[in-house]
Amino acid sequence: MNRRSMLGLALAGGATLTVAACGGGGDPLAQETADSGGSTSTSAVIIGSANFPESELIAEMYAQVLEGEGVQVQRKFNIGAREVYLKALQDGSIDLLPEYNGALLAALVDGGAPQGVSSPEQVYDALQDVLPEGTETLQQSAAEDKDTLTVTAATQARYSLTSIEDLAPVAGELVCGAGPEFQERYQGLIGLEEQYGVTFKEFRPLDAGGPLTIGALTDGTIQVGNVFSTDSAIETNDLVVLQDPKNLFLAQNILPLIRSSKNDQTISDALDAFSAKLTTQNLTEALARVQVDKKDSASVAREFLAANGLA
CATH number at residue 96: 3.40.190.10
How confident is the model over 226-243, as a mean pLDDT?
93
Q: Which residues pair with 136 in a beta bridge?
A: 258
116 and 75 fall within a common domain: yes
Decide if pLDDT at 305 tops 50.
yes
Q: Give the separation between CA 75 and CA 296, rounded to whole angstroms.
A: 15
Kindly state the greatest CA–CA separation across the chain.
58
48 and 174 fall within a common domain: no
User: Any residues with CB less than 8 A from the CB of 273 and at least 6 apart, and which?
Assistant: 65, 310
The pLDDT of residue 104 is: 94
pTM of this structure: 0.76
Nearest to 94 by CA among 32, 21, 45: 45
What angle, rounded to 10 degrees, do the helices at 82-90 and 3-12 form?
140
**Is 11 a member of any domain?**
yes
β-pairing, 254-259 vs 135-137, is antiparallel
**Is 178 a member of any domain?**
yes
Domain boundary residue among 187, 212, 241? 241
**Is 12 a member of any domain?**
yes
Query: Comparing 138-142, 209-213, 260-264, 299-303, which segment has the lowest mean pLDDT?
Result: 209-213
DSSP-based three-state secondary structure for 175: strand
Range of the domain at 220: 147-241
Whole-number mean pLDDT of the chain?
A: 87
**Is 15 within 8 Å of 184 (Cβ atoms)?**
no
Q: Give the separation between CA 254 and CA 276, rounded to whole angstroms.
A: 11
71 and 126 fall within a common domain: yes
154 and 205 fall within a common domain: yes
Nearest to 123 by CA among 13, 255, 269: 255
Domain boundary residue among 184, 206, 241? 241
**Is 205 a member of any domain?**
yes
Q: Give the separation between CA 27 and CA 33, rounded to whole angstroms.
A: 11
Query: Comparing 8-12, 115-119, 209-213, 284-288, which segment has the lowest mean pLDDT?
Result: 8-12
What percent of the chain stands above pLDDT 90?
Answer: 75
How confident is the model over 249-268, as a mean pLDDT?
95
β-pairing, 224-228 vs 175-178, is parallel
78 and 9 fall within a common domain: yes
Banded model confidence at residue 2, pLDDT cuts 50, 70, 90: very low
Banded model confidence at residue 171, pLDDT cuts 50, 70, 90: very high
**Is 229 within 8 Å of 241 (Cβ atoms)?**
yes
230 and 174 fall within a common domain: yes
The total number of structural domains that make up the chain: 2
**Is 246 a member of any domain?**
no
**Is 38 a member of any domain?**
yes
How confident is the model over 269-281, as a mean pLDDT?
97
Q: Which run of H or of E encompasses 79?
A: strand 73-80
The pLDDT of residue 27 is: 57
The pLDDT of residue 28 is: 60
213 and 288 fall within a common domain: no
How confident is the model over 164-175, as a mean pLDDT?
98
The pLDDT of residue 276 is: 98
**Is 64 a member of any domain?**
yes
Domain boundary residue among 192, 216, 241? 241
Query: Comparing 107-111, 258-262, 288-292, which segment has the lowest mean pLDDT?
Result: 107-111
How confident is the model over 47-56, as a mean pLDDT?
95
H helices of 14-100, in order, are: 53-68, 82-90
Residue 211, domain CATH: 3.40.190.120
**Is 89 a member of any domain?**
yes
91 and 138 fall within a common domain: yes
User: Any residues with CB less than 8 A from the CB of 63 and at least 6 apart, and which?
Assistant: 35, 47, 73, 75, 301
23 and 85 fall within a common domain: yes
The pLDDT of residue 111 is: 72
189 and 45 fall within a common domain: no
134 and 154 fall within a common domain: no
H helices of the chain, in order, are: 3-12, 53-68, 82-90, 101-108, 120-128, 153-159, 191-196, 211-219, 233-236, 265-277, 280-291, 297-307
The pLDDT of residue 247 is: 86
Decide if pLDDT at 248 tops 70.
yes
Q: Give the separation between CA 181 and CA 271, rounded to whole angstroms.
A: 29
120 and 188 fall within a common domain: no
Amino acid at 210: G
How confident is the model over 32-57, as a mean pLDDT?
73
